[in-house]
A and B are shown apart, each in its own frame.
Chain A
Amino acid sequence: MMLQRRHFLAASASLLATPAVAQERPFRIMMLLTRGWEEACDGFRDHFAARRIPVELIVRDIATDMRLVPGLVQEVRQVRPDLVYVWGTGLAVAALGPWDAVDPTRHITGVPVVFNIVTDPVGNRLIRSNTDPGRPVTGTEYIASVDVQMRAMARYRPFTRVATIFNPNESNSRSVVAQVRTLLGNNLVELPVALNSAGQPDPDSIPTALMQARQSGVDWLYIPPDTFLNNHRVALTRGALVLGLPLFAATERFVLFGEGLAGLVSRYYSVGAFTGYKAEQILRRGRPPESIPVETLTRMSYLIRMESARHLNFYPPVGLLRTAETA
């Protein structure tokens, strides 16, 4: 089943990327995905199509199962593609390792890499710094700085206390929560999802966490970038709505494909296209990845789900509606 999906995706990508310039063969890009093909991958693929750069996309999806990572690393070593695309913070950390302690037996080496939908790559030690990655790896960030997110939240409605629910197993979530803690101090109510006996996050604990947030009398519920919560976003956002908790998310899917109230987000499609641009710099222009800075989009989208606002009777200020995108 998984294999068929891979072939289908690769084929469709090749069809879209019609060659326009003389090139011996299409660039071979191996795409390592965490939870399947989504909007960021669309943006990445469409960039090459728009630029008429022929590419052959070899798509591998671990479906959030990190145990598959060593196998993928091995495959990369065998296939030796022109470029590796890594989607997601957890997968990037596992497949690439720390920038200053790479283990060639466990991590991808010898191939240029671009990462996408990765949170805090410096904090997660994927690169030395955004301007100087320190290894043949570059990519994009998609989360606005925590400070900017908090200000965006206050622009909707000023607050004093905020609760946050997150998966304690995910480094990206932990990293962002730590930054929020630095900013808000005791006004942040941290509600990590409970772990089951296997050490995995328990989806059944989400309603409890929501109730705790409600009882703590917070003004907002903040959701950091979190793959586990994304997978359970419907339950999470519906539960928050029922309890009258306005939910502000760092990523678009909680608002676009859930019932979250608002979020300051980079659109996945745009981030994917921006990552495609970085890949083009490496493939077409021959720039070493270590010389390409890791950047974020300069424009973010303020997403507001008006249906949730009506349900909560929590309407955005008029001035914000002028610039916000509504869902």
Chain B
Amino acid sequence: MTSDRHLVSRVVIVAALLLTMAVAFVSHSALRSFEAELRPELEREASVVGEIGARTLQRAIELGVPFGSLSGVDEYLVSLLTAQQGLSYVLLTDAVGQTIASAGGGVGSFSGLPAGTLSPQRGGALMRQLGDSYDAALPILEDGRIVGWIHVGISRARLDSVLADMRWDVLIVLLVVLLATSEFLRFSLFRTVSAPVDLVSRLQARLATGDWTTRAQDNIVSEAGQVVRQLNVLVRRMNDRWDRLRWMATQSDAALRAGAVLDGVRQRLRFGLASVQDGLGTGAASGRLPLFLFVFAEQLSTSFNPIYALELAGGQGGIMGAALPIVAFVAAVALFTPLGGTVVARRGPRDAMLIGLVPAALGHVGAAFCTDLTTFAIARGICGAGYAVVTIACQVHLAQEAPKGRVARSLGGFTAAVMTGAVCGTAIGAVLADRVGFRMTLTLSMALVLVTALLVWRTFVAGGVTEQKPMGLWRSVRAAFAEPRFVLLVLFAAIPAKVLLGGFIFFLAPLELRELGLSQAAIGRNVMLYGLCMLPAIVFGAWLTDRTGRGGLIITLAGVLNGLALLLPLWLEKDTALPLAIIGTGLAQGLASAPMLAIIPTLSSILGAPNSAVMLSFLRLGERFGSVIGPPAAAALFALSSGQQTMLALGVISLATSVGYALSLTIRKRQQEEEV
């Protein structure tokens, strides 16, 4: 098992490395060729502006204005400078390079052309690189001799900025490709390597204990499948020989004695083929890809939902109109999460996922073909209902399939798959929408949901596993919230975490980053740090929880870390504190994610508690509540004070709830010890 995991990890790492190297090489070459193409473009722009300026001055001279009597040159150069973005200066020198008039702030490193410089061949401009600018110089002639030069400087910063943006784009695409590749490889390797090898191991173990009754699923297409088939043949032959031996024993003269020997053998070995074959099973790992694809499909529209809503509203809906589809989605997720838990408990994860995928697909179709804002909001609400059922079903599936002692890691896989899908879907969705439009992107979402359904149908074990703890919704609520540890988890960990996520990451951070003067792309990159830091933190948090079994402590420490991150403006400048706070929030929320989920199966096993599906749905409901109140709470604080003070207030909330959670757990533990 361990060697399989290592194999999968190694293959993923090698693939990721090869992919990174390939993309890095291609990107480097592309950027170099882009720079090589863009530089002449910039030089041409400078040259064109210079030609316009030179033509005007030349016309004045041809109309009889002596070069020395040119007036209004400063104003004219300013008009040239402002007419074209990215110019660092425009200036006029005399024939010996002395500046006569200038405009623009980038003239610091300028030096004029020396006397006697000849006009460029075939007209055009004389190009030079001066400091951080490309300089295009065009001669001004009077009576056939050069009397001055007009210089246009175009800043290299523009080229650098475009290249930096491209590097970021390449990096984001690389990241998306790596994450998606890792998900697909994980799934593929599980189906073709890990699961078959596990199957062989299980079969070998049975045979070693003398159990010759079970055969394995023999339609596995891989090297391990050959082994499985050989083992099946071996089992069948052994059973045939056993039968033959028994028959021969009855025909023998020493039947009585032979029968006694065979009875002795039968006590140690079991023969006879069972009607049910051992299969690959669903496995926790195979549940990640459908979830990844589903979230990927859902998040394709994240970047343009408000814009699409505004377009459909035709300018009538205002900012509230833009928020309506988002509100409809979140509200539907919150409303249908408990129902999702019930569906999963009654029908099992596989059926529940297939049921949930139907409204999700219909919602995407509705969104793609809607004609007004109301229809779009309804379509998003339908998507939200599907999302609620599918995500709960996936969580339950992962919890059920988790090997013993690795519950946190298995459930951490859920959050990791959701985050990966969200990061990839949002980034690719924006690109797709730009290329093929909103409606086509939504149609693609629907297609991906159908692919997800196909994967679930093919790979999940039919029927799934249904826990035998059915109870009504209201009874479930009372039973779940009767357990103090669950109440503490929801009130002091789940809700505050999502309040911080919604209030800081999604609301306050973009506003504060804009306040710092960052571009939209740079704001997006900064906010993306959250997801990037969260992914490794989820894996580490899950590993730590499984290793130490101290989920409560990890949740507390994560809350403290989040609080301290938001208090950073007390000690650091805002431009440093903000990205660090985003990173801190990502790490903290990632660390706490798996332990929070891992506590659920334990709580569910307590006598009288609802099953884990229902408890998970209540935990998720609490989180949705936090997500809903986070942005308005932050907005209210922001309105009353300032961005920095709102950050500090959120930090204090995180610290206070974490300490509260730790204290409550300690008190509860002591009470239990005293009772014992």
Interface residue ranges, A against B (CB under 8 Å):
306-307, 309-310, 313, 315-322, 326
Contacts and interface: CB of A to CB of B under 8 A. Distances in A.
Contact of B70 (A307, A318, A322, A326): A318
A316 B63 CA distance: 11
Contact of B72 (A307, A313, A320, A326): A320
19 contacts: A307-B64, A309-B65, A315-B65, A315-B70, A316-B65, A316-B71, A317-B72, A317-B75, A318-B56, A318-B57, A318-B65, A318-B71, A318-B73, A318-B76, A319-B72, A321-B59, A321-B60, A322-B56, A326-B63
A276 to B, nearest CB: 33
B63 A321 contact: yes
A266 B427 CA distance: 57
Interface string B76-106: 1001000000000000000000000000000
Contacts of B76: 317-319, 322
A318 B63 contact: no
A305 to B, nearest CB: 11
A318 B69 contact: no
Contacts of A316: 65, 71-72
A318 B60 contact: yes
Given A306-B63, A306-B64, A321 B56 contact: yes
Contacts of A313: 69
A302 to B, nearest CB: 14
A256 B528 CA distance: 67
A322 B59 CA distance: 8
Interface of B: 56-57, 59-60, 63-65, 69-73, 75-76, 79
Nearest first, the 3 A-B pairs at minimum CB distance are A317-B72, A319-B76, A318-B76
Nearest to B101: A318
Contacts of B79: 319
Nearest to A324: B63
Contacts of B69: 313, 315
A309 B57 CA distance: 16
Nearest to B73: A318
A321 to B, nearest CB: 5
B318 to A, nearest CB: 36
Contacts of A317: 71-73, 75-76
A157 B233 CA distance: 106
A316 B60 CA distance: 9
Contacts of A310: 64
Contacts of A309: 64-65
Contacts of B75: 317, 319
A309 B65 CA distance: 9
A209 B649 CA distance: 79
A54 to B, nearest CB: 44
A319 B72 CA distance: 7
A321 B75 CA distance: 13
A318 B78 CA distance: 12
Contacts of B59: 321-322
Contacts of A318: 56-57, 60, 65, 70-73, 76
Contacts of B60: 315, 318, 321
Nearest to B70: A318
A322 to B, nearest CB: 5
Given A310-B64, A316-B65, 11 more contacts: A306-B64, A306-B65, A309-B65, A315-B71, A316-B71, A317-B72, A317-B73, A318-B57, A318-B71, A319-B56, A319-B79
Contacts of B64: 306-307, 309-310
A313 B65 CA distance: 9
B475 to A, nearest CB: 78
Nearest to B72: A317
Nearest to A326: B63
A110 B65 CA distance: 56
A6 to B, nearest CB: 41
Contacts of A320: 72
**Counting chain B CB atoms within 10 Å of each CB, which of A313, A320, A321 scores highest?**
A321
A321 B63 CA distance: 9
Contacts of A326: 63
**Counting chain B CB atoms within 10 Å of each CB, which of A306, A315, A318, A319 scores highest?**
A318
A253 B668 CA distance: 102
Nearest to A318: B76
A322 B57 CA distance: 9
A321 B73 CA distance: 11
Nearest to B71: A317
Contacts of B73: 317-318
A115 B654 CA distance: 81
B141 to A, nearest CB: 15
A326 B63 CA distance: 8
B542 to A, nearest CB: 68
A243 B9 CA distance: 95
**Counting chain B CB atoms within 10 Å of each CB, which of A306, A316, A317 scores highest?**
A317
Contacts of B71: 315-318
Nearest to A304: B63
A183 to B, nearest CB: 23
A321 B60 CA distance: 7
A320 B57 CA distance: 11
A45 B313 CA distance: 53
A322 B53 CA distance: 10
A322 B70 CA distance: 13
B672 to A, nearest CB: 86
Nearest to B63: A306
A310 B76 CA distance: 21
Contacts of A319: 56, 72, 75-76, 79
B90 to A, nearest CB: 12
B516 to A, nearest CB: 37
A183 B182 CA distance: 77
B550 to A, nearest CB: 75
A288 to B, nearest CB: 39
A321 B59 CA distance: 8
**Counting chain B CB atoms within 10 Å of each CB, which of A307, A315, A320, A326 scores highest?**
A315
Nearest to A310: B64
A32 B69 CA distance: 47
A158 to B, nearest CB: 11
A320 B73 CA distance: 10
A307 B65 CA distance: 10
A249 B65 CA distance: 22
A313 B57 CA distance: 17
A294 B176 CA distance: 65
A306 B69 CA distance: 13
B77 to A, nearest CB: 9
B80 to A, nearest CB: 9
